[in-house]
């Protein structure tokens, strides 16, 4: 009996990263707090990517 391996994940997190980058830059430009904008962009990107991965994993089942 052969063991089946799942297909490799082809999901990229490009949409999440674009949304996070735009949000971080917009915050930084609007408030003048560029470091806070960078931080917000990074945190938002990680959160959106994790959420997107979870949603994609659920839809594959």
In a domain, residue 4? The reply is: no
**pLDDT recorded at residue 50:** 93
Length of the chain in residues, anyone? 61
Domain assignment of residue 55, yes or no: yes
State the pLDDT at residue 57: 86
Into how many domains does the chain fold?
Answer: 1
Please state whether the predicted TM-score (pTM) of the whole model is above 0.85.
no
Rg (CA), the chain: 16
Q: Is 3 inside a domain boundary?
A: no
Per-residue pLDDT tens for 3-58?
777 666 666 889 999 999 999 999 999 999 999 999 999 999 999 999 998 988 88
CA distances for 20 relative to 7, 33, 41, 61, angstroms: 28, 16, 5, 27
Tell me whether residue 9 is in a domain: no
pLDDT, residue 11, reads: 62
**What pLDDT is stored for residue 23 in this prediction?**
96
CA–CA distances in Å: residue 33 to residues 20, 37, 46, 57: 16, 6, 20, 36
Q: 3-state DSSP call for residue 7?
A: coil
Q: Structural domain of residue 36, as residue ranges?
A: 14-60
């Amino acid at each position: 009996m052969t063991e089946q391996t799942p297909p490799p994940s082809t999901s990229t997190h490009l949409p999440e990263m674009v949304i996070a980058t735009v949000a971080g830059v917009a915050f930084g430009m609007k408030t003048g707090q560029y470091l806070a904008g960078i931080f917000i962009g990074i945190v938002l990107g990680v959160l959106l990517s994790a959420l997107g991965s979870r949603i994609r994993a659920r839809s594959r089942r």
